[in-house]
Structure 1
Amino acid sequence: MSDDTAARAGEVVRAADGRALLRFRRTHTEPVAEVWSAVTDPDRCARWFGRWSGDGRPGGTVELVLTSDEDGGGPPSTVLVRECAPPHRLAVDIREGDGAPWELSVTLTPHGDGTVLVFEQVLPEGFSPADAGPGWHWYLDRLAAVLAGAPMPDWEATLAAAAPHYRA
């Protein structure tokens, strides 16, 4: 894996309650408000992750459809908004079928003129980082591309470079 890919890779850490988290830390040159908009505005979010509609306030639910060609989109997922504190923190549960929800959070912190983004997923018991790490790595690379006005990363190239890190 290249040093650049390794620097952007997520890591498994333990939360205060003992649960395993897959955590990514990315630094962007754009200010917090710009990154927040790219994460939460339905039209901007659709450019890198998925289109959503519904009640985005805490306790509300939205329907999310992934928009990238590589993952095929698929049926809508129900997303429960657990926390929304603009422009710094968003925490959601994504439900697909009868399985455990994917507990996700994004925290944005000013860093000079830019932003530090911390993305976390609670790893359900028995769930390997290899099952989610390369995908989140790719989506966060897509977010960076949208923010920078750069070309979108290639899924196959990202998978080949990042997957070994998450199997370790």
Structure 2
Amino acid sequence: MSDTTTPIPAGAPTPRGTVEHGPEGAELVLTRTFRAPAADVWASLTEPDRLSRWIGYWEGDPSTGAVQFYMTAEGDDPDPEEYRITRCEPPHRFAGVTSTGDDAWHLSFDLDEEDGVTTLTFRQVLGPGDDARNIGPGWEYYLDRLVAVREGRDATTVPWEPYLATLADHYGRASDAV
């Protein structure tokens, strides 16, 4: 029997996520750890000026339950995506549904702090048409951009190309196992 696992080249991103069975079906689950209070990490994930440093920004009034999100990490003039907020418990729990056209993504994150260290657990429900081989590497990339910014580096120092090339197989196998 041969090993069908493709080795990850030195210096390439390491897969840190899994695909698990959640209450709504398969969920992509990724974690990152920060030596910072949960409130500070929360600000990096929710305040438009801090969010814009690594992925994009939102406009609108979140108290209405929806905002428009602009994913600037993928271009300078993005179309807005509606983002419906379904849970918001600062600084620990957030969930929402973002949609573009007929596609909807159910996203959430939890922040758990212990002794000044905060663990971010990010989840995305994988719908019938969602391909973990693409989505998993994408979120690894974005969360590593967040890590870079929090470490004082520019998010553009994180190159996209190695993520899809080295992590797609990991997420394909993880998704097949659920």
Instruction: Please give the TM-score of this superposition, normalised by the length of structure 2.
Output: 0.83
Structure 1: runs of 5 or more not aligned: none
Partner amino acid, structure 1, of 2:90: P
2:150 corresponds to: 147
Distance 1:45 1:72 in 2: 15
**Mapping for residues 4-43 of structure 1, pairs under 5 Å:** 5-6=13-14, 8-17=15-24, 19-43=25-49
Q: How big is each residue's C-alpha offset from its partner over 1:136-166, in whole Å with a ceiling of 9 and x where there is no partner? A: 1100001111111124311113333322322
Offset at residue 2 of structure 1 (A): 5.9
Q: Kindly indicate whether the alpha-carbon contact (under 8 Å) linking 2:13 and 2:162 is maintained by their aligned counterparts in 1.
A: no
Aligned-residue CA RMSD in angstroms?
1.9
Offset at residue 11 of structure 1 (A): 0.7
2:162 corresponds to: 157
2:97 corresponds to: 93
Partner amino acid, structure 2, of 1:14: H
Whether 2:50 is the aligned partner of 1:44: answer yes
Whether 2:131 is the aligned partner of 1:125: answer no
Distance 2:121 2:13 in 1: 16
Offset at residue 84 of structure 1 (A): 0.7
Structure 1 or 2, whichever has the larger Rg, is: 2
Name the count of aligned residue pairs: 162
Offset at residue 97 of structure 1 (A): 0.6
Structure 2: runs of 5 or more not aligned: 1-7, 174-178
Q: How big is each residue's C-alpha offset from its partner over 1:68-88, in whole Å with a ceiling of 9 and x where there is no partner? A: 1xx235210000010110000
Runs of 4+ in structure 1 off by over 2 angstroms are 1-6, 71-74, 157-164
Partner amino acid, structure 1, of 2:116: D
Q: Kindly indicate whether the alpha-carbon contact (under 8 Å) linking 2:134 and 2:168 is maintained by their aligned counterparts in 1.
A: no
Instruction: Please give the TM-score of this superposition, normalised by the length of structure 1.
Output: 0.88
Distance 1:104 1:82 in 2: 10
% identical equivalent positions? 39
